[in-house]
Amino acid sequence: MKKKSAAKKEEQHRPPPPEPYPWLVYSFGDNNNRQLFCSISNPNETCIRRIPVLRNRYLWANCHGWCLYFCRNLGQMILWNPVTMDEITLPCLPEGLDIKDCILTSPPSEPSCKVILFFHYMSNILYCELGDEEWTELYYYDELKRTIKEVGLAEESMLPMRHLLISPVCCDGDLYALWTPGGSDHDCCRKLVKIHEIHRDGLKIEPLNIFLRSALPITKEVHLMESCGDLFTVEIQYKDESLTGVLAIGIHRLNFSNKEWVQVETAKDRAFFLPLDRLDQQAFSIPVIDPDVANRVYFTLNGDDTYKKLYSYNIEGGTISISSTFLNLPRLQRSCPVWIMPHLRLTNTLKEDEHKSYTEEQESGKVYGTENDLKDIESTNDISILHFDMVKVIAERLILVDYLHFRATCKIFHSAASPIQWRIAMEKVENPSLLSPWLVFFENESVCAFIDPKHGDKYIINLPQVLKGGIICGSKDGWLLVVVAEKSHFFLGEKLTFFFNPFTQAILPLAENMDRALDFSCIGFSSSPPSSECVVVNLSKHESDAKFVVEYSSSLGQDLDEDLDHWHENEFNDADFSFNNNSPVFYKGAFYCLGKKGNLGILKLNDDGENTWEVLTKPKSPCMSGYDQNYLVECDGELFSVFVGNMRKWVQVFKLNESKMTWIRVENLGNHMFYLSCSSSFSVRAKTPGMENKIYFPIFCGQSMVFFSLETKKFHSFEGKDVDFYSSREKLRCGWIEPRWC
């Protein structure tokens, strides 16, 4: 019995058996003396441990299979290996230090191993080598000043307390960091530098003339990390400063040869893990074989119980979903979990040359699933028995979407069905007006994709060169409002703005630059862009600010080379209104906005420039709590609001009674359909039986799109399944568009 008791006690003092993926670890109890280990591959299995060395310690970083832990009370750091249980105590730290980042440059077994600390508001680092009795302090301000002068930047702007190095990362044996002129994670001019020759006499900083993508607005975070010998950034833009929802995620890899960041369209051999405490911990990446784990970004969100939920973003699909729900968690006192990654040599791991091959494909901009990748299925299916003329006859009798899929089936079909223009293709549709709205999104930097929500048909067109890398911000009457980062100044947040009709390929430039970085809080336009009366508005506000800014443009350029400067700006004081990442509705000559609290704001743009903003005291919000998203929709000359409950537990629709200025509950939409997304929300009459009285969202279950039925009060898929929050995934950076060829 004693042996069993001792063995059980020993088991309690060490982590569970290591897995090929990181553990999600919660600390709880007195002085955080207990740890709960959760597996991302099996969320139903959790292990509670009492590891003495982790008591009252805070995790700073995972590096080379070792964890850097810090004890605030003792002012001491340790290196701890979660597999071997080895522990290395580092020298005591001086008091009063405000540590921002720390890094282990190599495994402790290597003679060059160093632990390096970076600080808030201080132009110095501390480092120690294993065996040192004290930390060595190095000031890098003069060296950074020399570096800035070498690359030709303004030397007089250097302020010792602001120009800092942050976000260190080791890649292929070299140490990199970001230089931030303003000392902030959200500086728009952060530049990548290489740090080397660290010794007691100083260090050397090498400028690389590589800027990081903009971290503006403040609701956006950019994480720098190493993965399989490459440098990556993962950008995550939250819906607001509460960090309870996500608008967009983007992944880029640094091409060292041309010093450019290349968008990652798929990452089938690795996964990315974002820090769960966003203030200090670092992001990291690991090689992955399991397709259910790979090609994803993992993160948590703030909220009452959201630390119990692990979210994942599918890089290739552009969708966000619940990856794991940890139902067996004890009552935690707002404990923020941490990632702990054991260092294992995985069996059957991908070889380095496979990683190199993958990155070379990314450098070339290869798009998976294009015509060049068509499988020659003639060898596996007996299609050759079909006469070529018969194949042509079949193709001529297909409607647009089926025709495009027909061409993509195999080489025989591709050669029999000639390429067609949109207008010619529409002649194959007996009544184009019967087409319902489609979901639209940019599948990568150069392709625009459409999905028919009912049939699930998907087809793509190539984007014009000027729109590559753009983001869809709005949609109306068959037109998209697209914002593109200016290539030469993308790190400053400067944008080019266009109207684009993907069906006619018409492009209308709107403005050359927007001085303020878009946060996508509330963007819309009044009417069809060819109209001279079309007005675009961008309303943005930080929750911590009592002011918000309205940018608007009412002039359209006709030439892409024309020098345009038509953006105007107004600033209004309003502490009570917060935008909720939904599109405004142009209604009776003004822009109506539905706020996060369910209140209505009205923006009126007047010819004399005396624009006004008013938050109405009535109507009161029809939902006081329990929802995380709302939308405003115009339907048959009336305003409707839609509120979606937390975790999509319910959906409620209301119509505005303008005579009494109250919201009236709506139980039936009749023959209408609502199409809702952050960038575009509108209503249309149902043109196909079975589509009416439903609300369509950019949500998927399996391969089918998801809708909410007002008749059943439930979410369903077109495959006939009931759908809940956990079985669905939401598409980011998308919108709805009504197909129009004129």
**pLDDT of 280-294, one tens digit each?**
678 999 998 888 899
Please report, in angstroms and rounded to a whole number, the separation of the first and last CA atoms in the chain: 84
CA 502/CA 506 separation, integer angstroms: 7
Give the lowest-confidence range in 237-246, 362-371, 562-571, 587-596: 362-371
Burial level of 73, CB count in 10 A (0-12/13-18/19+)? exposed
- The reported pTM is 0.83
Q: Is the pLDDT of residue 90 over 90?
A: yes
Closest by CA to 49, choosing from 65, 37, 38, is 37
Q: What is the pLDDT of residue 6?
A: 66
Q: Which amino acid is at 627?
A: Y
Q: Mark out the alpha helices in 352-449 (DSSP H runs).
A: 352-363, 388-396, 400-407, 411-416, 422-426
What is the rounded average pLDDT for all residues in the chain?
Answer: 80
Structure tokens at 459: 């087809």
Q: Is the pLDDT of residue 659 over 60?
A: yes
User: Which residues of 288-345 form beta strands (DSSP E)?
Assistant: 296-299, 309-314, 319-325, 338-340
Domain spans in the chain, listed from the N-terminal domain onward: 79-212, 464-575
Confidence of residue 407 (pLDDT cuts 50, 70, 90): low
- How far lies 713's CA from each of 444, 652, 683, 684, in Å? 35, 9, 19, 20
Give the lowest-confidence range in 28-42, 299-313, 556-570: 556-570
Sign, CA dihedral 630-634-635-639, equals positive
CA atoms within 13 A on the CB side of 643: 23
- How far lies 4's CA from each of 50, 85, 262, 337, 651, in Å? 17, 21, 56, 31, 55
Q: What is the pLDDT of residue 366?
A: 38
The answer, yes or no, to whether the previous bond of 453 is cis (omega within 30 of 0) is: no
Confidence of residue 717 (pLDDT cuts 50, 70, 90): very high
Burial level of 619, CB count in 10 A (0-12/13-18/19+)? buried
More confident site: 599 or 495: 599
More confident site: 186 or 71: 71
**pLDDT of 203-255, one tens digit each?**
999 988 888 865 455 567 889 999 989 999 999 988 877 778 888 899 999 99
The answer, yes or no, to whether the previous bond of 330 is cis (omega within 30 of 0) is: no
Confidence of residue 375 (pLDDT cuts 50, 70, 90): very low
DSSP bridge pairs for 196: 204
**pLDDT of 445-498, one tens digit each?**
789 999 989 888 887 888 999 998 888 989 999 999 998 875 544 444 457 889
DSSP-derived 3-state class of residue 147: helix
Q: What is the pLDDT of residue 511?
A: 62
Spatial contact of 191 and 210, defined as CB atoms under 8 Å apart: yes
CA 593/CA 598 separation, integer angstroms: 10
Spatial contact of 671 and 692, defined as CB atoms under 8 Å apart: yes
Helices 400-407 and 388-396: angle between axes, nearest 10 degrees? 150
Q: What are phi and psi of 311, to 5 degrees?
A: -100, 155
Size of the chain, expressed as the number of residues it contains: 742
Give the lowest-confidence range in 103-117, 472-486, 587-601: 472-486
Locus of tokens 């001792």? 6
**pLDDT of 520-565, one tens digit each?**
568 889 988 888 788 888 887 765 565 667 777 765 544 434 444 5
The answer, yes or no, to whether the previous bond of 619 is cis (omega within 30 of 0) is: yes
